Structure 1
Amino acid sequence: MAEAGHRGERGAAAVEFGLVLLPLLFLVLGIIQYGVYFWSMNSGSNAVGDQVRRMAVGDCQTDAERKHFLSERLGSATTSSESAISTTVVYLNPDGTPATEAVVGGTVRLKATYDAPDFHFPLIPVPSSGRISRTFDARIEDLDPVTGGCS
């Protein structure tokens, strides 16, 4: 027979575990979701930086080449298909004014937008609904494309 002092403590550990489990579970799932989101941002920064440097030397000038390059570089860091990755290119003259085409000594600015993986955990929002935009600038060095240098 249980002692009188311990009678009210039976099952207390299970109840306390149940109360702590849910917040702990949400914390762990949130860490996983945000970790993947930030990994996707970092992968995008690397991919867009590589892409704009190639553009600055005359490679990867078409939209299709840019999307293919970014899709390959992002890999599993995005859930966007190649056609769903959007790119915007802006050319600037050496003095910083907008240009209609690339000018040696000017700047090329590339903005790419894509979707980060989303696990759809309940009650755990993803920043910007999982849409990531990365922008990089590079000084234009050459306008003569290198054959096969985009992949």
Structure 2
Amino acid sequence: MSGRRRADRDGDQRGSVVVEFALVVPLVVLIVVGVIQYGYHYWAMQTASATAREAARRLIVGTDPVCTVAEARARASGPAVGSSVPTVVYAYDNAGNTAERGVLVTVTVTIQSLDVGLVPLPSGGLVTQTASNRVENVPIDPLLCE
């Protein structure tokens, strides 16, 4: 009779493993998806920050703003960064919004990060990064982008 009880106990353990597996797998999948989702969001934050800094650096030495913005938009549109076309806005801190030596230039880059949809993101996944620098050079003719 003890052999029969042992067989019943083994059967119960096998069933419990299936139940435990069914309970744990959704949690593990959710954690993996969350790590991937927040990885994409962090990547978008870093890309927007680096793009804003680089655009501000170019503007303070007198690079043409039109091609600087176009180049920044192209860099922020890289693979796996965002789900829409990024916006790049620059402004000079004076009444005429023009480049003058010593004036502060601020560049703002906004990206909608990729959204897997299972995990909520801060601000709905909208990433906005800003960089500011003082204008050092105002050439007669703006420097062309390379």
List runs of 5+ in structure 2 lacking aligned partners: none
Secondary structure at the aligned position of 1:49 is classed as: helix
Whether the 8 Å CA contact 1:48–1:110 is kept in 2: the answer is yes
Letter in 2 for 1:126: L
Rounded Cα–Cα distance in structure 2 between residues aligned with 1:11 and 1:87 = 57
Deviations 1:4-24 (A, max 9, x none): 443432311111011011111
- Judged with a 3 Å threshold, the aligned counterparts in structure 2 of structure 1 residues 78 and 6 are, in CA distance, closer, same or farther, namely closer
Letter in 1 for 2:137: D
Deviates more, 1:29-38 or 1:105-114: 105-114
Deviations 1:51-78 (A, max 9, x none): 111011111313xx34421232121222
Letter in 1 for 2:107: L
Q: Is residue 85 of structure 2 the alignment partner of residue 73 of structure 1? A: no
Rounded Cα–Cα distance in structure 2 between residues aligned with 1:70 and 1:16 = 50
Q: TM-score of the superposition, structure 1-length normalised?
A: 0.80
Whether the 8 Å CA contact 2:72–2:88 is kept in 1: the answer is no
Question: How large is the RMSD of aligned CA atoms in angstroms?
Answer: 1.9
User: For residues 68-147 of structure 1, what are the structure 2 equivalents within 5 Å?
Assistant: 68-74=70-76, 75-76=78-79, 77-81=81-85, 85-92=86-93, 98-100=94-96, 101-120=98-117, 122=118, 124-144=119-139, 145-147=142-144
Secondary structure at the aligned position of 2:133 is classed as: strand
Whether the 8 Å CA contact 2:59–2:65 is kept in 1: the answer is yes
Q: Is residue 10 of structure 2 the alignment partner of residue 13 of structure 1? A: no
Q: TM-score of the superposition, structure 2-length normalised?
A: 0.83
Secondary structure at the aligned position of 2:90 is classed as: strand
List runs of 5+ in structure 1 lacking aligned partners: 93-97
Which portions of structure 1, spanning 4 or more consecutive aligned residues, are displaced by more than 6 angstroms?
Answer: none
Secondary structure at the aligned position of 1:133 is classed as: strand
Aligned length: 137
Whether the 8 Å CA contact 1:51–1:60 is kept in 2: the answer is no
The percentage of counterpart residues that share the same residue type is 28
Q: Which residue of 1 aligns with 2:33?
A: 29
Whether the 8 Å CA contact 2:73–2:87 is kept in 1: the answer is no
Shift of 1:25: 0.7
Rounded Cα–Cα distance in structure 1 between residues aligned with 2:42 and 2:61 = 29
Bigger Rg, which one = 2
